[in-house]
Each structure stands twice: as structure tokens, then as C-alpha cells.
Amino acid sequence: MRRLLKIIGIVSLSIITILFALFTTYVYKHYPRKIDSFEVNNSILNTKILIASQGSEFKNALLNNIVDKIDNDSTYIKVIDVSLLNELEPNNWNAVIIINTCIADKINKDVSQYLVESQNEIPKVLFITAGDGMWKPNNLSVDAISSASRMSKIENLSKNIFNRLSSSENIASPNFK
């Protein structure tokens, strides 16, 4: 009987250890990271786009694709981490793109606060990575796109985000390469 309990204990502990290792690996791989801020072009340009993002392999690739595709000769682009959104004046931008993760059916608290507090006419596109790609925020007046983090979709998602911004009268149609 003691030997059976010992075997059951060892097996149980092994299963718990394996599950913990898998969970830790999942969180490390998928949990959003902070990004470094950077700017493209001079802030004196007429068209100004703010891009706030979280970091991950997919989000970084999407962010870089969007920045590369916007005609940088006519548009000032500022890229920041989403945690800095509430430190910037919303009215200084022609458009705002937010690249965010949905975790447990919630978007980042800084993003949510920014969207609630900046109820102005500036076009905002909220891009959300969600497991199934079908999640949309409730009670927020924002143009939202959601998708699973699939690298093969980056080109089409970039065009979709840009097309939603370009349809606004507030943005002086930066060219999309």
C-alpha cells in the first residue's frame, strides 16, 4: 500500500511539474511585451499617425509592415508602447492605430482608458489579437479588427488597417506602398 501511494505521489508530482512547465512556456511565448518608442520623419509634417503597440513576434512584424508601407515622405509616425497612450494628447494626431492583445476577454487597461477618455473625432483603429480572431470590444466606439496571430495574414491585415484609416476625412491620405 505504501509503495502504491509513493508511486501515485511521484506520478502526480511529475504531471504537475510538466503542466507548470507547459504553462510557463505558453505565457513566456504569448504574453505581450513592451516595445521601444521610435519616430519616422519630422513632427512638423501635416499628417501625423500615432501607433501604440504591445510587443510580440507577430505584433512587431505587423507594426513594421504598417510603418514600411506608409509613404514616409509625407507622414510623421510615432510608435509607442500602449502603456504610454495616456501620456500623449489625442488631438495632436490625425489618426491612431492601436495593436493590442485580448487576454481573458479584456483589452489592456491603458488602451481601454485611452479609448474611453478620447471620445473625439480622430479616427482610431484598434487591432486586437485574440485566440480565434473573432473577439470585438463591447461599449467602445472604435473601429476594431481582430485576428489570430498568423504571420501569413500580416500583409492583408496591414492593408485592412490602412484602408480604414484612409476612409476618414481627418487623414490626408498617406500613400500605402
pLDDT of residue 78: 93
CA distances for 177 relative to 44, 65, 67, angstroms: 22, 10, 10
Domain count, the chain: 2
**22 and 96 share a domain?**
no
In a domain, 94, yes or no: yes
**74 and 136 share a domain?**
yes
**DSSP-derived secondary structure letter, 140:** -
In a domain, 174, yes or no: no
pLDDT tens, the chain, 177 aa long: 788 888 999 999 999 999 999 888 876 766 678 888 898 888 888 888 899 998 888 889 999 998 888 766 788 999 999 889 888 887 788 888 888 887 766 777 888 788 777 776 666 777 777 665 566 666 666 677 777 788 888 888 888 888 877 766 555 555 555
In a domain, 126, yes or no: yes
**60 and 121 share a domain?**
yes
Give the span between the Cα atoms of 100 and 82, in whole angstroms: 8
In a domain, 176, yes or no: no
Its domain, for residue 16, covers 1-30
| Phi, psi of 33, deg, nearest 5 | -115, 165
**19 and 44 share a domain?**
no
Residue 143 is inside which H or E element, if any? strand 143-147
The type of residue at 54 is: Q
**24 and 47 share a domain?**
no
In a domain, 175, yes or no: no
**104 and 73 share a domain?**
yes
Q: At what angle do helices 57-69 and 154-166 cross, to 10 degrees?
A: 50
Write down the pTM of the prediction: 0.76
**43 and 23 share a domain?**
no
In a domain, 171, yes or no: no
In a domain, 12, yes or no: yes
Which cell numbers hold the place of 46?
Answer: 501635416
Sheet holding 38-40, edge to edge: 38-40, 75-81, 47-53, 95-101, 124-129, 143-147
CATH number at residue 117: 3.40.50.360
pLDDT of residue 120: 67
In a domain, 132, yes or no: yes
Which cell numbers hold the place of 149?
Answer: 496571430
